[in-house]
Amino acid sequence: MTLSKDADILWQTALELARRSAEVSPRLRKLPPLLFFTDPERTPTPWRTVPHLPAGAAVVYRAFSRPDAREIGLRLRAECNLADVRLLVGKDEALARDIAADGVHLPETDLSRGAALREAHPSWIITGALHAPLGKRALTGLDAVVVSPVFPAGGASASKPDLGLWKASQLIDSLPCPAYALGGITAVNARQLLDIQACGIAGVDAIRNAFGG
């Protein structure tokens, strides 16, 4: 697959972060380096981006209770299978089971569900959103968290102050599990993430724009 310049920067940076994390702990090798977060408004046709993602990346499908959630989820599942891309579902465990997803992504308010989900679905990849320090117990069962917003971001994070690299680094270093960086990441600033201990990159608009679809 030939990537655009911006896509190549994002992917190579994500791979470098993932490789560095895997050197610390071999179990991190199962984590996708790049997470493409969907959004009904910002990414209305996410299945069009999936074929352009590198094998080994992942999609985090956030349906937000839309009535056609299952239909879109099955379409994403099919495209992810073809592209060798993994599929996580935001919050909805039942939908994740229904469309044979590879795991779930929990909002920050639901992080306490991690332990029960891990027990019920040992093979799933389970991630959760994190915007501020939390006790270690709240992260039980999670493979990784997604720390945001690292840089000034759009969407739901537009009203939140960005952490900046220093605060993001401090937060990630305090965690008992790996962490992805999310929020305002572009091909212009992605390489700055090599200064912190993130295990990969997550994004919405930047990934859609860079990879196409």
End-to-end CA separation in angstroms for the chain: 15
User: Which residues span the domain enclosing 121?
Assistant: 5-211
pLDDT of amino acid 155: 65
Residue 86 near residue 125, CB atoms below 8 Å: yes
Structure tokens at 37: 């977060």
> Tell me, what's the pLDDT at 213?
75
pLDDT digits 0-9 by tens, 52-71: 999 999 999 999 988 999 99
pLDDT class for 28, splitting at 50, 70, 90?
low
Among candidate residues 181, 208, 206, the one with its CA nearest the CA of residue 193: 181
Tokens of 203: 């994004």
Contact at 8 Å (CB) between 129 and 146?
A: yes
For residue 137, the model assigns a pLDDT of 65
Residue 20's nearest CA partner among 9, 5, 31, 36 is 31
Is the model's pTM score more than 0.85?
yes
**Inter-residue contact 105 to 141 (CB < 8 Å):** no
Q: Please count the residues of the chain.
A: 213
The span from the CA of 51 to the CA of 45, in Å, is: 12
CA atoms of 72 and 130, how far apart (whole Å): 26
Give the C-alpha separation, 126 to 128, whole Å. 7
Instruction: Find tokens 């190579």 and name the residue.
Output: 12
CB contact at 8 A, 148 and 129: yes
pLDDT tens string 87-132: 999 999 999 999 999 999 999 999 999 999 999 999 999 999 999 8
pLDDT, tens only, 160-206: 789 999 999 999 999 989 999 999 999 999 999 999 999 999 999 99
Rounded Cα gap, residues 42 and 45, in angstroms: 9
161 preceded by a cis bond (ω within 30 of 0): no
Q: What percent of the chain has pLDDT over 90?
A: 83
Q: Which helix (H) or strand (E) holds 71?
A: helix 69-83
Rounded Cα distance, 172 and 55, in Å? 26
Check whether 14 has a pLDDT greater than 60: yes
Instruction: Tell me the CATH number at 141.
Output: 3.20.20.70
Number of separate domains in the chain: 1
